[in-house]
Amino acid sequence: MKTRDIDIYLFHQGTNYRTYEYLGCNLVECGEKFIYSFRTWAPSADGVGLVSSFSGWDECLPLNKITDKGIWELIYTSDRPLECEKYKFRIFKNGMSRDKGDPYARFSVGGTDGASLVFTSSDYPWGDEGYLKFRKRVVCTREGSYIPAPLNIYEMHLGSFMRHDDNSYYSYRELAEILPAYVKRMGYTHVEFLPLQEYPFDGSWGYQVCAFYAPTSRFGSPDDFRYLVDMLHRAGVGVIMDWVPAHFPKDAWGLYEFDGAPLYEYQGKDRQESRSWGTRFFDLGREEVQSFLVSNALYFLREFHVDGLRVDAVASMIYLDYDREPGEWVPNCYGGRENLEAIAFIKKLNSAVLGEFPDALMIAEESTAFGGVTAPVSDGGMGFSLKWNMGFANDFYDYVETDPLYRKYKHTALNFPISYAFKENYCNPISHDEVVHGKKSFIDKMFGSLDDKFYQARVALMAYMTYPGKKLLFMGTEYAQFREWDFASSLEWFMLDYPNHKAFRDYTAELNGFYLKTKPLWEIDFSERGFRWLLPDEAEKNLVAFRRYDLDGRYVTVVLNFSGVSQSVEIDAEGKALKVIFDTGNIPEESKYIKVNKTKDRSFANITLPAFSGVIYESVSKNIKIDIKNKDKERKNVR
């Protein structure tokens, strides 16, 4: 077979994972002449033409149908390079025509226009070889642990992280001068960008994508985005992209009924559309759609060096009754509600991505108890690296919003998560979804007075950082922004002029730094070996205590007091004294070294914690001499 025939064959088989090198616009030859291929898949179209800035928008150049399964082609010769020239495909169907953006366009005008831009190659000079080698060591499996490394992710919406005084966007390159140093200084290992593939409607936050291969032009060119990724890597910060393979919007220039009929979306009304989002679901059982999406995932890992993808709305893909009433969906061949085609697609996706990039992260936003999300495909699982633990976040927020007098009735928010913490490889998110639409910001979720909110937020953040699971925190939370997140304006960085907020950001950075250097907090996140309850059931005291272990058996002891009053407890001391190595900033000096008490049968330590406080101890020899007189003198209280 000729190479072109192989490309076509694999595309229709659902196994061409470099489809973008064949379909779309590609430079075939350059020299005295520049020869470009324009190809698209439109099996239901009566005809396809090319309209463009370089051939005159009034002239429609016809594409030839070159396969029975609907691939159309035009070979165009130009006397000059066409980079960044605009074009669209004109689709003819039943005597009507409409202009569409190229599904495989690597650059797009976006907005309501949606014109594609010729962008066939990049000569960006990458300088992140050192980070890519480092990544292989971080995302790994060692005996006794999976991903035995700290993952502390800073989730971001680029359009509202920071804006100019006139409310215009910072560009990719401007952000590259600010962001790497900030997230590194704050102790984050990765940034996670809300979707950056071209989307028309700002209010979708990027989750309604029209041009899947095109980084949004809001912030610059594809090479400008490469520069941002490169600068983050050079600073030692990984990059995760939010990726949306579940659905797409009905904007006229996008994938919606691309060839005049449902093509990328499901044909049947029982699966086709989301009532809540007003979008179309991808037909994940169609082989050509599988080639499109798997190629797209790999495109960003190959071409932009991103370190992983957070796969959005997995539940909407794997359940036939998602967002549907009884009678609006058809069971699968076994009578169940599972979308077998979608599950098979996800397994194919993760096998392809992690087969080529075993050190990448594939993270599922999956909001149900579907089993085996992070189990290997070879064991019957879906093969994701990590799954967002959305239940932990929801229960925990309900707990901290409750008056401490009544938290004892909701104590399961603190101990129940451990009962399922090791069933999947979890990432615990404090995400964008929880700080909008009246849900209140993280700091404002805390019960009580202003002072109490800050004290409780410190304990809550310590709980989040010490429970099993990898970490993700949405921007603005690190300095306790009170206002809910607004996609249309900048974060309120001026809040750092207030002592409470500056102190909270300093605390967050200090806690992050402590997390990064403390192996027991991350080396065994996904096994019971890494966790042991000491006091799971102190509901009356709003208190829990537990230990976290590393692969060598070393441990730290964590005690968290969510009560509005001081609480005293006894904990198992294993024959050793306890020394405070981190706290929420309101622990008296005399409480920073706890002597061990011994009886014939046991050894224990008596601990007293102030209201709304948390402590992390290490166990030390009882005879060690500890100078606590000036220790932590610079630590700041909330006020």
611 contacts: CB under 8 Å, gap ≥ 6: 455, 561, 563, 564, 565, 566
In angstroms, the CA 521 to CA 527 distance is 12
- Whether 616 and 579 have beta carbons less than 8 Å apart is answered as no
258 contacts: CB under 8 Å, gap ≥ 6: 42, 91, 100, 103, 264
- Counted residue by residue, the chain has a size of 639
- Whether 72 and 93 have beta carbons less than 8 Å apart is answered as no
Indicate which residue of 265, 288, 365, 366 is catalytic.
365
3 contacts: CB under 8 Å, gap ≥ 6: none
Active site residue 365: yes
In angstroms, the CA 592 to CA 580 distance is 5
In angstroms, the CA 507 to CA 460 distance is 12
Query: Hey, what are 37's tokens?
Result: 């291929």
Active site residue 478: no
Q: Decide: helix, strand or coil at residue 417.
A: helix
HEC sequence for 618-639: EEECCCCCCCCCCCCCCCCCCC
In angstroms, the CA 285 to CA 43 distance is 17
Residue type, 559: V
Nearest alpha-carbon partner for 557 in 591, 529, 582:
582
Count H helices and E strands in the chain, helices first: 15, 32
- Whether 433 and 596 have beta carbons less than 8 Å apart is answered as no
Indicate which residue of 7, 257, 312, 550 is catalytic.
312
- Whether 74 and 38 have beta carbons less than 8 Å apart is answered as yes
Q: Which helix (H) or strand (E) holds 302?
A: helix 287-303
Nearest alpha-carbon partner for 201 in 264, 278, 308:
278
- Whether 565 and 611 have beta carbons less than 8 Å apart is answered as yes
The β-bridge partners of 471 are 152, 428
Quick one: how far is CA 38 from the chain centroid?
A: 33
Q: Decide: helix, strand or coil at residue 197.
A: strand
In angstroms, the CA 57 to CA 348 distance is 40
Query: Hey, what are 276's tokens?
Result: 């809540």
Q: Decide: helix, strand or coil at residue 506.
A: helix
Quick one: how far is CA 219 from the chain centroid?
A: 20
Nearest alpha-carbon partner for 573 in 550, 548, 541, 606:
606
Nearest alpha-carbon partner for 522 in 189, 150, 153:
150
474 φψ region: left (φ > 0), alpha (ψ -120 to 50), beta (else): beta
Query: Hey, what are 496's tokens?
Result: 């750092």
DSSP β-ladder status, 86-93 and 116-117: antiparallel
* C-alpha distance from residue 159 to each of 176, 219, 484, 490 (Å): 14, 8, 15, 8
- Whether 584 and 455 have beta carbons less than 8 Å apart is answered as yes
Q: Which helix (H) or strand (E) holds 130?
A: helix 129-138
What are the catalytic residues? 312, 365
